[in-house]
A = this chain, B = another copy of it.
Amino acid sequence: MRKLTMDDAEISSEYGINIGRWSRYSGLGEMPFGAMWCEVPAHGQSSVDSHPEVELAVVVAGDATFTVGEREVAAPPGSAMLLDPHESHVIRARDMPVRILSLYWLPE
Contact = CB atoms under 8 A, between A and B. Distances in A.
Contacts of A1: 66, 68, 71, 73, 81-84, 87, 89
Interface residues of A, number: 39
B5 A79 contact: yes
Q: In terms of DSSP, what is the predominant structure of the interface of chain A?
A: strand
A73 to B, nearest CB: 6
A52 interface: no
Interface in A83-108: 83-84, 87, 89, 99, 101, 103, 105, 107-108
Given A6-B78, A30-B107, 18 more contacts: A1-B73, A1-B84, A1-B87, A3-B73, A3-B79, A3-B81, A4-B79, A4-B81, A4-B82, A28-B82, A32-B32, A32-B33, A33-B33, A58-B58, A58-B101, A60-B60, A77-B77, A103-B103
